[in-house]
Amino acid sequence: MGFHKIRFGYPGKKMPSEINNGLSLQEQLDILTYAQTLPQKKFLKLMNNKILLSMVLLAITTTSINAADTLPGINSAGGGSIMPAGQFKMAYKFISMKRDKIFDGSNEVSNDRNLDATATVNLLIARYGIKPGFDVRVALPYKSLEATAQLIPGKGVEIDNHGMGDMVIMARHALSNMRMDGYLLSAGLGVKLPTGKSDKTFAYTAAGTPAVGSNTPMPTQLGTGEAEYKAELGITKFFNDLRLDAHTMYTYRPKATNDYDFGNELAYNLSIVKPLTNTLNFGIEYNGKYNSKTDMGSDTNPQLRAMLPFKAFSGTVGYITPQIHYVPFGKPKIHFDFGVSILTHYNLSEAQPLEKTRFVIRMGYLF
């Protein structure tokens, strides 16, 4: 009888149905197990008292580890998760990488132009649940790109581009129900708007180089100058104390400024996160990407195009990202995360720079 009251509530009393509150079967059993250890009078009082029942629930949930409270992988785009209706979350993500190696096919080749490039991206993400099973998110990046290269022996160029990048707006809709189906599958559509500048010039060009008076190449610009269109599919599932998120996104890119063809992209991510304690999660994920072949179009000038080591990515690449999530209050109200993406495989369409490691910091606050 007590278990029935926990599951379905008690008519005419201020005792909620814990099914409606979203508790799992195991959590409901935990409440009953605890309640049955009380003296009979206290047990009956507990079954009819919402305040005491809430205190029991709080005691149980703060001393147990619930995989449903774990965060998605740091690069997984949340898998198939969707923000509950009326809830708003702000997140900040910092990405840092260094590119001073050149790769072609599945081999590392000589860095003949002495390219030394670093890039950081500060990404601000806002996400809001419009209604049950439907949310929207907006991502606004601030980019910093610095690089030096020798186009002619003894004569180099420098790039120092900083500013807002292209904003992305996405909408996501649930295709399944976590409680009924045991997993959450969702699909989304979005657009990348050309809010970043695409006409930045070189910070320094040595006299006599074809870079004099030219803009920096498109892959080093803050934006592409054209809209891009995105479609995503994601899934989230919990296995006991593990959280699994899988996500893939296809990006269709029309030709950008100067007829630069960045190619179309298919990104795919798989992450597993396990809570170690109430406040600490460990995760590992695979981040892969395929990009069709690119074309520099009429970017810069013909002589400079033949020399530049700054090229857009094309081919396939994969990273493994171990990570730690710190959730100071046990629930993902606020969190601080850190991960390192390590290059594991690549097969590039042409000689181009590529980072061997990527450092990622993520912070979030649920309002």
What is the 8-class DSSP label of residue 105? E
**CA separation for the pair 51, 48 (Å, rounded):** 9
Instruction: Point out the domain boundary residue: 41, 61, 81.
Output: 61
Residues 206 and 252 both lie in one domain: yes
Give the count of domains, the chain. 2
Residues 33 and 137 both lie in one domain: no
CB 15 within 8 A of CB 41: no
**Structure token pair of residue 361:** 């910091």
Instruction: Point out the domain boundary residue: 37, 61, 85.
Output: 61
Residues 318 and 273 both lie in one domain: yes
**CA separation for the pair 144, 161 (Å, rounded):** 6
Give the CA radius of gyration of the chain: 26
Per-position pLDDT tens, the chain of length 367? 455 566 556 565 556 655 555 565 556 555 655 555 555 555 455 445 544 444 444 444 444 455 567 899 999 999 999 999 999 999 999 999 999 999 999 999 999 889 999 999 999 999 999 999 999 999 999 999 999 998 888 788 999 999 999 999 999 999 999 889 999 999 999 999 999 999 999 998 888 887 888 889 999 999 999 999 999 999 999 988 899 999 999 999 999 988 899 999 999 999 999 999 989 999 999 999 999 989 888 888 888 777 778 888 999 999 999 999 999 987 788 999 999 999 999 999 998 999 999 999 999 999 8
Query: What are 288-312's pLDDT values in tens digits?
Result: 999 998 988 888 888 877 777 888 8
Residues 279 and 354 both lie in one domain: yes
Query: What are 202-257's pLDDT values in tens digits?
Result: 998 888 887 888 889 999 999 999 999 999 999 999 988 899 999 999 999 999 98
Residues 330 and 358 both lie in one domain: yes
Q: What is the extent of the structural domain holding 170?
A: 69-366
Q: What's the predicted TM-score (pTM) here?
A: 0.79
- Other beta carbons within 10 angstroms of residue 185's beta carbon come to 18
Residues 314 and 278 both lie in one domain: yes
Residues 198 and 52 both lie in one domain: no
Residues 94 and 13 both lie in one domain: no
What is the 8-class DSSP label of residue 196? S
Residues 17 and 147 both lie in one domain: no
C-alpha to C-alpha distances, 290 to 1, 96, 217, nearest whole angstrom? 57, 21, 22
Residues 150-162, buried b or exposed e (16+ Cβ, 10 A)?
A: bbeeeebbebebe
- CATH of residue 100's domain is 2.40.160.40
Residues 288 and 321 both lie in one domain: yes
